[in-house]
Structure formats: structure tokens, C-alpha cells
Amino acid sequence: MKIQSLLLAMTLAAGVSLPVHAGKSDKDYEPYPHMFVGLHGGAQATFTNYKFGKLITPMYGVSFGGYFTPVVGARLHVGGLQTKGGIKGLDKTYDYKYAVSDVDLMLNITNLISNNPDRVFNWILLGGVGLNYAWDNDDFHALTAGDATYPLAWEDNRLGHNVRVGTMFDFNIAKHFGLNLEIAADNTSDRYNSKTSNSNDWSMHASLGLIFKFGQKKKVQESEPVPVVEEWATRVDTIWYDDVTYKEVPVTEKHEEQIYFEIRKSEPVPANQVKAVADFVKAHKNSKVVVVGYADEETGTPSLNMRYSKERAEKVVAALVEAGVDKAVITAEWKGDTEQPFADNDKNRVAIVTVTGEGVKKEPVTTKKFRTEEKRYRVK
């Protein structure tokens, strides 16, 4: 109950010390991160079935570590000297020496809640693991000589684990110096005090420490911004650009339609192909239309084929005239089977319509021109 009351009081004290808000520091350095070396001195006792007050012994220690952020730090701590145990039945105490080393993680609770670079007091929780080494157990063996009650008492030395939990109250005195009060409990092996209770042994220590801090970075001073007086001027820029126009240029264009027929047939003439020719004639000046009829050489006779090719050419001409093409611009020819325009025999039952005419196309004409623009620019 006494330990719980003490921890509660220390927690309330830490809470009272918290600032309402983080203020602006007047220090010329950044408190974090930094490294530190510490010297510690105090008292410790091991919990056992004996009078606690008679087991208190002095202890000393040294630590080296650092704070990586305002909240998180770590240290290597080595401490010890001499400790005591007690034998209740004999009402005797015995001395033995010990040393404990731990790597501890430190958590600054006050900075976790509110990071004030000018805070004097910090409440820190710590915990770590390490090794516990004990030696010179002669007193115990002298008291229990011939007593079989303690078969697991160690002889020359004892090496075991050490687990630490505790709290620290840190006071910042100056840039490089600080004081702290540390209260912690260590858990080690059951045989640490040469008596076994089927559970690990606990010891508690309280110590005062003097801390030397180093490695703080110099704070970058924030200077007041110098007001800038702007000066502006105006200049006239010449902007060159390409002015593109288009002119119409006469061009001779050509269009062709291949109108195919069944064997010994000269109709029908497809309306869509006739219309394509008629539309071309309407869209071009001085159009000329040439219609040439053909027949395939693998069927019929030369005379019959000549007749079929003529009929095909004439049917196409008639369809073109009906579609609005002036007959005066149409020339008709027929070749029979004397000419075969295609390698595929069946494709030679055809009338080929070729139309030429004068069209126009637009060609770009680029002229270099310029314009002037006023530009405002900053002089200062």
C-alpha cells in the first residue's frame, strides 16, 4: 500500500507540472535529441521473508544513453555494490556482492502529453532487460554450514536474468546538467538470495542521479522577414506569328468504277455505281467519261463476246445519261474478249468506267506577320 500511495502521489505531481500549452522557447539550443552520462547513488533491498528495514544497503550506478525524440530514449545502466539477505529462523543477515546491467527504454510521459521545451520537470517511465551477477556468498554458507534446508545455495557466483520496471523524475537544471530521482524494481532468478520460493526474486532501489547532457543542436534563429518593395516597368514586345490563308489550285482528278455482269448478261447496272460517277461529273469541270465493255474469253465465241461487251457498254452509258450525265461527255468502247483486264476469268465480264475532271484543292499560304504587346515585368 505504501508503494502504491507513493506512485499515485508522484503521478499527481507530474500531472500538476504539465503546462496548459506548449510555449515558445527562449533557449538557443534544441533540448532534443541529446545524449547523456549519469552517475547514481542510493539504496536498495531484496524482498524476502525477513525484516525489510534490515536489508537496505547502499548502491551506486552509472548510465549512458540518449533521447532520440522528446518522448523516446534509451540507456545502458550498470549498478550494484552489496546486498543483504536474511534467515528468519536464525534472526541473522548475510552479505553478498552483486552487479546488474540493463538496457532500458525510457518514455517521457510529460512530453508525450505536451511538449514544452522550457519544462523543468519530466516524469519518465522506464523498463528494460539485462543480466544480474552475484558473488562472494561466504556469509550465507557460514551461517548455514551443515544445514540441508538450503540445498540450492550457490557457491562462488551466480549469473541470471534481470527485468526492470520503474519510474524517474527528472529535473532540468541547465543545458548540460540535470538531476533525477529513480525508483525501480528488478526481477531476477529464484536462487538470487540463495533461498528458493518457487518464484522469481524482486528487489527495489531508489537513487539520486547527476546527469551530464551533450549533443544538443543549436537552434536556428528565426529572423523577421524583410518587407520587399516591388518595382514594376512596362515594355513593348514584338510578337511574330504565321498567318495562314488558303488558295484554290486546279487539279485533275480521276475516278473509276468496275461494273460486273453475269454470264451472257448486260444488266442490271448497279445504281450506286452509276450515282458515284454522276456525282463526280457534277462536282468537276470539263469531265470526260470513258466506258469500256469486256467479255470473258473462256465462254462464248469471239463474235458473241464482242456483242456482249458492246451491250454492256451501251447499257452503262444509258444508265449514266438517265442519272443526269451529259451524253456528249461520254465515250463508249467495247473490246469483246480481245483484251482481258483481269487475271480472274469471271471478272472480265465487266464494264470499266473511267471519269476524269478538273477539281480544286486548297493549298496553305503562310505569311510572316507581327503584332506588338505591352508587358509588365518586375524590376525589383
By mean pLDDT, which of 4-8, 27-31, 115-119, 279-283 is the weakest? 4-8
Report yes or no: 231 and 380 within 8 Å, Cβ to Cβ: yes
> Quick check: do 2-11+26-218 and 243-365 share a fold?
no
| Domain over 243-365 is classified CATH 3.30.70.260 | no
Rounded Cα distance between 98 and 82, Å, is 6
Local confidence band at 22 (pLDDT 50, 70, 90 cut-offs): very low
Answer yes or no: are the C-beta atoms of 164 and 128 closer than 8 Å: yes
Q: How far is CA 279 from CA 95, 272, 274, 320, in A?
A: 123, 10, 9, 11
Share of the chain above pLDDT 90, in %: 50
Evaluate whether the domain defined by 2-11+26-218 bears CATH number 2.40.160.20: yes
Per-residue pLDDT, averaged over 131-144, amounts to 86
Instruction: For residue range 301-318, list pLDDT tens digits in order.
Output: 999 999 999 999 999 999
- For the segment 204-229, the average pLDDT, to the nearest whole number, is 84
**Cα(23)–Cα(116) distance, rounded to whole angstroms?**
6
Each residue of 105-119: pLDDT tens digit? 999 999 889 878 778
Domain ranges of the chain: 2-11+26-218, 243-365
Q: Report the C-alpha gap between 325 and 274 in whole angstroms.
A: 10
What pLDDT, on a 0 to 100 scale, did the predictor assign at position 91? Answer: 83
Nearest residue to 308 via CA among 284, 336, 282: 336
Please tell me the predicted confidence (pLDDT) of residue 222. Answer: 67
Q: What is the reported pLDDT for 16? A: 39
Cell 539504496 identifies what position? 43
Predicted pLDDT of residue 359? 87
Between 65 and 228, the higher pLDDT residue: 65
* pLDDT of res. 224: 73
pLDDT beyond 60 at 31: yes
